[in-house]
Amino acid sequence: MDYTIFKTLHLTTIAISLALFVLRGIWMMADSPRLQARWVRIVPHLNDTLLLASGIGLAVLLQQYPLVHGWITAKVSALILYIVLGTIALKRGKSRGRRIAAWFAALLVFGYMFAVAVTHDPFPFLQ
């Protein structure tokens, strides 16, 4: 596979991941039973697996590795925080208020990851 295929797959799965996260967050806030649908518990994980695989593929192709390149390190660190916040938002939050706060925080972290990816800078808002 070449760079263009990995990048297209990565960008597509990012858009799908964000759309599904926003939708599930809206359903969480509305206390919708749709959140328990089988596809809602499966499709995001399949998409996120493709997202991670394409990200790793891009990193290898571009020879940009965490702990070597600051922007990749920042992006991976933010990804871990995003996953933790997303888990709190959609599953593990003890109260509705905490789940909503974690959901908004996860969206902010997502925005940071996007900015880092575009600028290739771990401090994208200081430019």
| 106 pLDDT higher than 90 | yes
Q: How many CB atoms lie within 10 A of CB 116?
A: 23
Domain-by-domain residue ranges, the chain?
Answer: 3-122
Per DSSP, 88 falls in state I
C-alpha span between 117 and 107 (Å, rounded): 15
pLDDT digits (tens, 9 = 90+) for 43-71: 999 999 999 999 999 989 989 888 888 99
Q: Report the amino acid identity of residue 100.
A: I
pLDDT digits (tens, 9 = 90+) for 68-96: 889 999 999 999 999 999 999 999 999 99
Please tell me the total number of residues recorded for the chain in this structure.
Answer: 127
Calculate the alpha carbon distances from 76 to 30, 41, 59, 112 in Å.
31, 24, 11, 11
What's the confidence (pLDDT) of residue 1?
63
By the 8 A CB rule, do 74 and 81 touch?
A: no
Which candidate, 52, 85, 72, places its Cα nearest to that of 113? 72
